[in-house]
Amino acid sequence: MNIFDYNELEIAELIAITLRCEVAIESGNATYKIRDREYILPLSSIVTAMTSIAKKSVSDETALHSENEYEIIVHVESPQPFSMRSEPLILEDTDTQVTYEISGSSEEYLIWLICSANKSGSLRDLISGPLGRDRLIRLSDDTSALDALRTVLGRQLTLKIQSTHKTNIKRFQSLSNSLLFHLAYNLDLAVVPQRFLLEISRRGRITRMRRSAISEMDPPRRVYNEDLVNHYVLGISTDNPTVQFLSFYHVLEHFFESVFNDELIENIKTAITQPSFSYKRKKDIAGLVTTIKKNLQIRSETITFSEFQALCITLTRFMEKQEIVDKLNEYDASLVEYYKNEQVNFSNGSKVNLSSTENETIIKNLAGRIYSTRNALVHSKDGDRAKYTPFRDERFLVKEIPLLRFISESVILAVSELS
């Protein structure tokens, strides 16, 4: 994503698109008018940022670095960090001459981010919606255009590391990792690098799909299962992909035992009511026992059932395939094709062609994709062939979340009742 694909005037226009306003270029300044306020940005500031960016490299998709500087966007899951937007967290190591800082993004990073997001087609997904523009009212009259831009983008934080010595990317990543543990251990502060643009933009995509003014909303007219709602709300209350995936999975898992038992009972009823069945024939009874054994297993004196089979039944009973496809296409038109052509990288979850007319194959492959991924998240023993590595595998996990979220929504709606 080459910054030199843009000139300063085009970047000024991108800022206007992000701010959702017009821009006037005059006397070397870009002036943005939002409501009754004007925000000024000298074009020379853009040129200076472009010159600095040109000397840097990009790692993953969101780390901008040189031999002496490193900056990456981070998400902080704790109430404490919000003070960092006004009071940066700064730690200096005088022995190694390394400085760590968590604060609002630098001007060059901000400009680089909107250019990169625009090239990937996700710029509008970074915008925090009407709330972002409403926050502008609280800013002082002398606020700069870039401060206004930070506000509209949700006042994102970045981790910055500076070293007086030449430092390669692996060393910067090691320093970053050390700081993350240091903060977690000492301050109970979870700082998570957002290494891929999709991690930053995915919440904006959902908001864009569902965005509605409060004045246009009706009161709820259906009653929903409380347990399912709790799992669903937990899933959307965090940006942690693992928690999201497992929360949406728990919505489906809620029904496993009941749907499995119902299915087994129906199979037994069908078998014993066949005209060819006789309870007097040992062969017929033995066949019935075999059927039950295949479905149930005894582990440590406890009777269990196949979760995979229960997942297949749950998907068959509650999921409307075309509705899921339509939601996926609205969220990200590339995902349906992605699921068709790509396994889940870290779990070897099955490819699934949601456009196929072979429903049994779809259910089997979809259940395989979901269940394998769930197992990789839950079972992370050293030596397992399929396991999830936090942060490194997030770029793959986040692609699975929309699919499971939309399925969980279908389940919740399917079992709801009119109030």
Q: Could you please report the per-residue DSSP string of 119-166?
A: HHT-HHHHS-THHHHHHGGGS-TT--HHHHHHHHTT--EEEEEEESS-
Instruction: Copy the structure tokens of residue 352.
Output: 């699934």
The residue ranges of the chain whose pLDDT is under 70 are 1-4, 78-86, 128-141, 210-216, 265, 291-305, 380-386
329 in Cβ contact with 209 (< 8 Å): no
Q: State the Cα–Cα distance between residues 224 and 95, nearest whole angstrom.
A: 58
Q: Which helix (H) or strand (E) holds 55?
A: none
Report the pLDDT value the prediction gives residue 67, as an integer from 0 to 100. Answer: 95
Report the pLDDT value the prediction gives residue 144, as an integer from 0 to 100. Answer: 83
184-235 confidence digits (pLDDT tens): 888 888 888 888 888 777 777 777 776 555 666 778 888 998 999 999 999 9
Report the pLDDT value the prediction gives residue 2, as an integer from 0 to 100. Answer: 57
Report the pLDDT value the prediction gives residue 1, as an integer from 0 to 100. Answer: 45
Nearest residue to 213 (alpha-carbon basis) of 129, 299, 322: 129
pTM, to two decimals: 0.73
Q: State the Cα–Cα distance between residues 410 and 90, nearest whole angstrom.
A: 46
Measure CA 190 to chain center.
17
Report the pLDDT value the prediction gives residue 305, as an integer from 0 to 100. Answer: 61
Report the pLDDT value the prediction gives residue 8, as an integer from 0 to 100. Answer: 92
- Which distant-in-sequence residues (6+ apart) come within 8 Å of 156 by Cβ? 73, 104, 105, 150, 200
263-321 confidence digits (pLDDT tens): 776 777 777 788 877 777 877 787 777 766 666 665 545 555 678 888 998 999 999 99
Residues making up the chain, counted from first to last: 419
Q: Which amino acid is at 292?
A: I
